[in-house]
Amino acid sequence: MSALPEQTALSASDFKSDYRPVWCPGCGHYSVLSSLTKALAELAVRREDIAVISGIGCSSRIPAYTNLYGFHSVHGRALAVATGLKVARPDLLVIVAGGDGDGYSIGGNHFIHACRRNVDMTYIVMDNQVYGMTKGQASPTTPADWDKSKLTPHGTGVSPFHPLAVALAAGANFIARCFAGDPNGTARVITEAVRHPGFSMVQVLSPCVTYQPEQREWKNTVRKADIVTTSEADLAARWLMADDGLSTGVMYKGHRPVYRPELEETASVADLEKWFAV
């Protein structure tokens, strides 16, 4: 991607489309959209050199609300689509965005392997611990005793998934948690995540006012983590496992090797064909 010359700098609103979101009024995703566009304005990358890739779900609607290249793909596969794009087109800035169900449940295998592969892209998960688009079912990050869904009337009875610990163990190179109630702080982390090489995992606590109205309380309970960003995975792991999931900040910035195949032509097709001659 090429940086913009100073005089043509774009503002955050230059990255928004005129398409009006379907998100419920009060939804945290509005703020994430705003954080993303603010971060992109700070990164000063040409619009045409950015691609936003998503799967299916409320948050996965985000590409259409930007005026960038985007792909609203199928449920759970955003990371795979983005991996193909970034490996084939390393010149692009690739942002992947989606929700907790899309990313950790149906897309769980891709999540693990995207962390492992460590392709240079930034994954923003708008985590509201619920499936919104299908009317409020438990997701992998829903507390085990949440009994508000008709599908799991006694609660899931299953321990919630720990996305950041999994990301760390699987090999992600940048791990952070943000809060939709802090859009400028989130913009800052997204900017940092994009600048850091490799796979950057940004979990954003983004309240669902319709199915998890108690998450409106997050503005009182979420706080900045009392940590210094580390490059040591064992320290980060210990911290993550001890935390209650409501602390925000950049927990880990590693130096893990980035998957970036060289796309350089050293032979012609005719050269390859010589191999077949008896």
Partner 1 sequence: MVEVRKAPGDIATVEEFLAHALTLENEAADGYQEIGDSMAVHNNPEVAELFYKFCKYGRMHASEVQSLATGLTLPHIAPWDFAWEDGESPETPGADSVHYMMTPSQALLLALRAEQQAHDFYATVAKTTKVPRIKELASEFASEEAEHVRLLEEWIVRYPSAEKNWDFDPDPPSMPE
Partner 2 sequence: MSAETVSIAITGAGGAGVMTAAQMVLNAAARTGLYGLMARSTGPQIRGGEAAAFIRLGAKPVNCLDNRFDVMVSLDWLNVERFAAEIPLDAASLIVCDADAGPPPSRIVASGAQFVTLPLQQTVKSLPGGRLNMLGLGVLAAILGVPDDAITVVVEKALRKRGQAVLDAGLAGVTAGRSLVEGLDVGRFHLQGASTAARTDRWSVSGNEMAGLGAVRGGIRFVAAYPITPATEILEWLAPNLEKVGGVLVQAEDELASINMIIGASFGGTPSLTATSGPGLALMMEAIGLSVASETPIVVVNVMRGGPSTGIPTKSEQSDLNIALYGLHGDAPHIVTAANSISDCLFTTQWSVHLAEQLQAPVITLTDQSLGQSRAVIDRPADISFFSKRETFAAAAATPYQRYAITGSGVSAMAIPGTPGGEYVADGLEHSVTGRPSSGAEDHGEQLAKRARKLEDLDYGQYWAEIEGEGPLAVVTWGSCAGPVREAAELARAAGMDLRVISLRLLAPAQTDRLEQALAGVERLLVVEQSHSRQFYRYLRAFYDLPGEIRVFSRPGPLPIRSSEVLQHIQSWS
Residue 240 CB, shortest distance to partner 1, in Å, is: 14
Which of partner 2, partner 1, none interacts with 135 (beta carbon under 5 to 8 A by kind)? partner 1
Which of partner 2, partner 1, none interacts with 207 (beta carbon under 5 to 8 A by kind)? partner 1
How far is residue 157's CA from residue 147's CA, in Å, rounded to a whole number? 10
Residue 57 CB, shortest distance to partner 1, in Å, is: 8
DSSP code of residue 9? P
Residue 27 CB, shortest distance to partner 2, in Å, is: 17
Residue 139 CB, shortest distance to partner 2, in Å, is: 19
Q: Which is nearer to partner 1, 25 or 261 (CB)?
A: 25
Backbone dihedral region of 21: left (phi > 0), alpha (psi from -120 to 50 degrees) or beta? Answer: beta
Long-range contacts of 225-231 (CB under 8 A, 24+ apart): 225/177, 225/249, 225/251, 227/251, 229/253, 231/255
Nearest alpha-carbon partner for 162 in 147, 152, 175, 149: 175
Residue 257 CB, shortest distance to partner 1, in Å, is: 26
Q: Which is nearer to partner 2, 8 or 159 (CB)?
A: 8
DSSP code of residue 10? P
Which of partner 2, partner 1, none interacts with 249 (beta carbon under 5 to 8 A by kind)? partner 1
How far is residue 171's CA from residue 111's CA, in Å, rounded to a whole number? 10
Q: Which is nearer to partner 2, 67 or 229 (CB)?
A: 67
Which of partner 1, partner 2, none interacts with 219 (beta carbon under 5 to 8 A by kind)? partner 1
State the pairing for strand pair 50-54/93-99.
Answer: parallel
Given a contact cutoff of 8 angstroms between Cβ atoms, the answer to whether 10 and 4 are in contact is: yes
Non-local CB neighbours of 2 within 8 Å, separated by 6+ positions = 45, 46, 49
Q: Which is nearer to partner 2, 56 or 201 (CB)?
A: 56
C-alpha 26 chain-centroid distance: 21
Q: Which residues bind partner 1 (CB under 8 A)?
A: 9, 12-13, 20-26, 28, 30-31, 34, 38, 42, 56-57, 133-136, 180-185, 187-188, 191, 207, 209-211, 216, 219, 224-229, 248-250
Q: Which is nearer to partner 2, 52 or 176 (CB)?
A: 52
Q: Which is nearer to partner 1, 219 or 238 (CB)?
A: 219
Which of partner 1, partner 2, none interacts with 225 (beta carbon under 5 to 8 A by kind)? partner 1
Q: Which is nearer to partner 1, 77 or 117 (CB)?
A: 77
Given a contact cutoff of 8 angstroms between Cβ atoms, the answer to whether 236 and 175 are in contact is: yes
Residue with tokens 């708008």: 126
Q: Which residues bind partner 2 (CB under 8 A)?
A: 19, 46-49, 51-53, 56, 63-64, 67-74, 76-77, 80-89, 91-92, 109-110, 112-113, 261, 263-269, 271-273, 276-278
Nearest alpha-carbon partner for 114 in 83, 93, 86: 83
Residue 61 CB, shortest distance to partner 1, in Å, is: 9
Torsion of CA 249, 255, 257, 258, to 10 degrees: 40
